[in-house]
Structure 1
C-alpha cells in the first residue's frame, strides 16, 4: 500500500551530504537521546495531536507535517511519544469510517482498519500497545 501524500509527516531532511537522509524525529533522537526537543524528552500521552511544549510534536518540522496531515484528512487523529517511541494515526479521508493510516518509530507505515463507527479511543488504541507508541 502506498503512503497517502497527506501522511508524509515522516519528514526527510537533507544534511550536507544529500545521500545522508534521516527522518526529523530520528535526528532529534540522535541529537538528544530520545524523542523530544531537548535532553530530557517529555512524553506525549496518547490522544488528540497537539504541539504541546517540550514534546516531539513541538518541533516545528514534525508539527508542520502532522498538522498538514490532520488538515488534509479532516478526521480523527492520534499521537503518542515516549522517550524511545512515537506513533501517529490519522483517519483517512477516503473510506473514513473504515480506514486510518499509522506511522511509528519502528518503521511501520500502514493502513489500519477501523470498525465503521470510529472513535478517538479506537484510533488511540491503534497507535499503542498500552506502554509504547506502536502501530497495531
Structure 2
C-alpha cells in the first residue's frame, strides 16, 4: 500500500495495539537502500531510540542484532516482495523506545534515505547514504 501524502512511499503494517492506521512509511529512496542492505546482510530491522547523537536517527541492523525488550514498541512492519520468485514476503520490523514513542505519539513517520554518512552502528554507514525520519502530525 502506498502513502498518498508521500508519493511512492510504502506504508508499513501497523503494529501498535489498538491501531488500524499505519504511522510509518518508507520512501522509494529508503526502499532502494533497504534492498541493497538486504542483499548484503540478509533480513533487517530498524530501531529508533530517544537518545542523542546516533540515537536520534533510525538505525538499521541485521534482524535480531539489536535486542529489543519491554522498553521497546514495534511501530510497524515493512513488507517487501519475496526474492527469487518466492511468494514469501520479506518483513522488516521498525521498533522505537517507549519513551520516544510518548514524545512522537501524535506523529506519522516517513523513513527516507539521503546522501551522507550513516550512523556509526547502522548498516548503511559505509554506503554514502543515511536514513532519516521526516515527521508530520497525525
User: Do they fold alike, i.e. is TM over 0.5?
Assistant: no
Which structure has greater helix proportion?
1
Q: Tell me: higher relative CO, structure 1 or 2? Use CA pairs within 8 A at least 6 residues apart.
A: 2
The two structures have a TM-score, normalised by structure 1, of 0.31
The two structures have a TM-score, normalised by structure 2, of 0.31
